[in-house]
Structure 1
Amino acid sequence: MTRYYAVMIKVILRFFQVCLFQASPADIPASSILLNFSVVTYFIVGVLVSHIDHSWTISLVAALADTAMLVIVTKGLLFIRGLPSRFEQTLTAMAGTGALIGMISWPVFVLFRQVEPHSQLTSIILLLVLIVIFWSLFVVAHIFRYALDIRPGLAAVITTVYTIASLIVVGLTISGVA
């Protein structure tokens, strides 16, 4: 059991390194177990973050749509670039870092919803929300850059398009459930 915890701590630290731009998706272990764990964790964290503003049903459907977009876009981009062998590590990196950033940001989003609109804390909390959002976008671009072997500018464009598409799909999904 101790060995299991040591491996998990090592993997979580590797996800942190990717989030801090010190590692790439290639540094994530290729493991179907880790991939499944990362995707499930990404989904659960997505449900928890979405539940801040929505019911459990809507949160489950929104997180499912977001997770499906993550898988489909990652697989599609790697296929288009002729790099399907990178799927396992890339999706693990995307889901693992997404879950990690989601867990870190969850308290910020909860606090943002509890602060009165015109209090002194509002600006500080809003700044923290913006920092988390931009950090998440930069991490996704970082992963795309290395997984797809592309320039940073193109990775930023792909990240922007992916994010907008994901927001549209999740928004349409939520509006169909609501």
Structure 2
Amino acid sequence: MNGLLVMLDILRARRGPQDLPADPALAVFWTGVAVAVGLAIGVPMYGATAALVMNLVDVAVLFGFVALALRFQGFVGRQVQTFTAMVGTGAILGLLMALLTLVAPIDPEAGEAPPLAVLGMLLLLGWLLFVYGHILHQALELSNRMAGVVIALGFVLISSVITQGVAGAVTA
């Protein structure tokens, strides 16, 4: 329960990844939650196989990104905490997105979503960028949070391109 409270505080930028234990089991737990939530969102749109592959690739890209960013800055010892913070907060925000898609379902055939659902998704994306920026600001000891947000935006774009590329290969 304490881990959840820390995650909620990280989502509100009140705490950082350094407040999580460097516990690989906690990282595995939040990774499992993230994949499960990703499947809940992805299966209706892409099918089970593609959704599973996309979620596993997304987690792998996140893990690799965190490892490279921390290595580049010389903070390798922070990898477990930073990854756990990013995968955990992403899972919680993903859960909110899953709930949003239940309330306002996306029509996969038409590729459309209700306008309020789109607005909600954009707000969640903005929140994700802010939170990832906050985590990176703390973990990389950046001079300001906006630098973290810019790095987070780069990560989200790269991750999206890789994940969508894999989705195209899996569904082709």
Structure 1 residue 114 displacement after superposition:
5.0
**Segment drifting more, 104-113 vs 33-42:** 104-113
Total equivalences in the alignment:
166
1:46 offset after TM fit, Å?
A: 1.6
Larger CA deviation: 98-107 vs 166-175 = 98-107
Q: Match for residue 123 of structure 2? A: 131
> Which of structure 1's runs of 4+ aligned residues deviate more than 4 A?
none
The whole-number CA distance in structure 2 between the counterparts of 1:35 and 1:122 is 34
Query: TM-score of the superposition, structure 2-length normalised?
Result: 0.90
Question: Which protein is bigger by CA-based radius of gyration?
Answer: 1
Alignment counterpart, residue 165 of structure 1, candidates 158, 161, 165: 158
CA drift of 1:14 comes to 0.9
The CA distance in 1 between the partners of 2:23 and 2:54, in whole Å, is 27
Counterpart selection for 1:35 from 13, 27, 30: 27
Measure the CA separation in 2 of the matches of 1:110 and 1:133: 17
Q: For 2:44, what is the secondary structure of its paired residue? A: coil
* Residue 93 of structure 2: aligned partner: 101
Counterpart of 1:53 in 2: which secondary structure?
Answer: helix
Equivalent pair of 1:49/1:106 in contact (CA under 8 Å): yes
Amino acid at match of 1:146: Q
Cα shift at 1:40: 1.9
Q: Report the counterpart of residue 169 of structure 2 in structure 1.
A: 176
> Does 1:19 find its partner at 2:11?
yes
> Comparing 14-23 with 46-55, which one deviates more in the overlay?
46-55
1:51-90 pair list within 5 angstroms: 51-90=43-82
Sequence identity (%): 26
Deviates more, 1:55-64 or 1:37-46: 37-46
Note if contact 2:106-2:114 (Cα within 8 Å) is conserved in structure 1: no
Deviation per CA, 1:119-150: give whole Å up to 9, x if none.
xx933332212111111111111111101111
Report the Cα distance in structure 2 between the residues aligned to 1:97 and 1:39, rounded to whole angstroms: 10
Q: Which runs of 5+ in 2 are unaligned?
A: none
2:138 alignment partner AA: Y
Gaps in structure 1 of 5+ consecutive residues: 1-8
After TM superposition, give the deviation of residue 73 of structure 1 in Å. 0.1
Q: Which moved more, 1:77-86 or 1:136-145?
A: 136-145
